[in-house]
Each structure stands twice: as structure tokens, then as C-alpha cells.
A and B are shown apart, each in its own frame.
Chain A
């Protein structure tokens, strides 16, 4: 049972245009959401996060939107650059027993920014 879903395995965007990566979740206990970027053979790099008390968080070219009623979040990258080409993982977190937060990841979306 996938609690976090990224339904698009790949996305191609022209350089300079907007990239929109989507993520859906099913667990209403999730209260913190993150996006990670991953290059091949490297560990994921944290990009941006959002708490469930907000519906938008912006950091430079990256903006994350959260729609709690739809259990949907998205990552917008504007403008897209060739160096943004990577796999993007959506992750969700809920406070588990033992006071340790665990992340549940989506399966990832491969973004390709075309020059």
C-alpha cells in the first residue's frame, strides 16, 4: 500500500519553462512534507519542505504547494535549468511512536530539462 505516490515516472521540460512535479498521499496523519533531489549514485539532497499548517513555501526557484483537502502537493521549479535534471522524491512524515519521525517516500519522478 503506497501511502505516497508520484504517478509520473518522468517529465521533460524546456529550459526556462516551469517544471511541476506532483505528489499524492493517503495518510491523513502526515503533517510534514519534503522534496529531495537525487543524482545517480548519490544520496538525495534536501530541497524544500512544508508543514501542514501552511499551503505554500518558497525558496528561490523552488515553491512547494500543499492542498490538504486533496492530499496533494506539488513542487514548482521556475525557471527550469539543465542542472535541475535529476530524480525528485516527494516524502511525507508523521510523528511515530518513540518520538522518531520517519519519512515515507514516493517512487520518484525523473525530470529532464532540455536546453
Chain B
């Protein structure tokens, strides 16, 4: 069966520091991969998606970037965090069908 893991689960970072959130998927090949963010009191916003290694599409202009160095690995990064980057970040994957499956999420607090 397929599983998705992301880490770290919680992170407190000072403004201006870098960020790296990692996500891996197991049990499938060539998945579509996604990064979503849920800001406090708001819905889920798509940040990035990837249909293959090295292929990244960005949905919103922002302080973040994503990379896909391997087929089942998706990384969310920032060189300098802003206070507004605080939120709950979710990695997700989808098979060729339409359903997207989410990881456990990572809480980021920028102080």
C-alpha cells in the first residue's frame, strides 16, 4: 500500500532563517506531488505541484520554493522565512486517478 510521510511535524524558526520541509511517498511510482498550506482559520491553498522529477509548477507567488530531486521526494524550501509563512503545511500525492492523499502535516511557526 502507498504511504506518505513528511517531516518535521513541528518547527519554530526565527524570521530570516531558512526552511526545509521534506516529503516522501512509498509504494507507488511517478506520483503527482503537491504542497498545500492551511493558514489559521482558512482553507487549503495549493502552493506547488509536480508531475515528475525536476518539474515544478507554482500556483501563487511567494517566498517559498519547491524541488523534486527524486521521483518520490518533494521538498519545500525558503531562503529567508517571513512571519506570514507561519501555517500548517501539507504534502500530498495522487495516482493517475483524481483523489489526492495527504501527509500528516507540518506546523511551522515563524517568530
Contact = CB atoms under 8 A, between A and B. Distances in A.
Interface string A82-115: 0000000101010000111111111110000000
Nearest to A34: B99
The B contact surface, by secondary structure, is strand
A53 interface: no
The A contact surface, by secondary structure, is strand
B93 to A, nearest CB: 11
B22 interface: no
Contacts of A107: 42-43
Nearest to B45: A105
B18 to A, nearest CB: 24
B98 A93 contact: yes
B44 A44 contact: yes
Nearest to B46: A102
Interface stretch (B61-69, B70-78, B101-109): B101-109
Interface of A: 4, 6, 32, 34, 36, 41-46, 49, 89, 91, 93, 98-108
Interface of B: 32, 34, 36, 42-46, 49, 51, 55, 57, 59, 88, 90, 92, 94, 98-105, 107
23 contacts: A6-B43, A41-B105, A42-B105, A43-B90, A43-B105, A44-B44, A45-B102, A46-B99, A46-B101, A46-B102, A49-B99, A91-B100, A98-B57, A99-B51, A100-B49, A101-B32, A101-B94, A102-B59, A104-B46, A105-B43, A106-B43, A107-B43, A108-B43
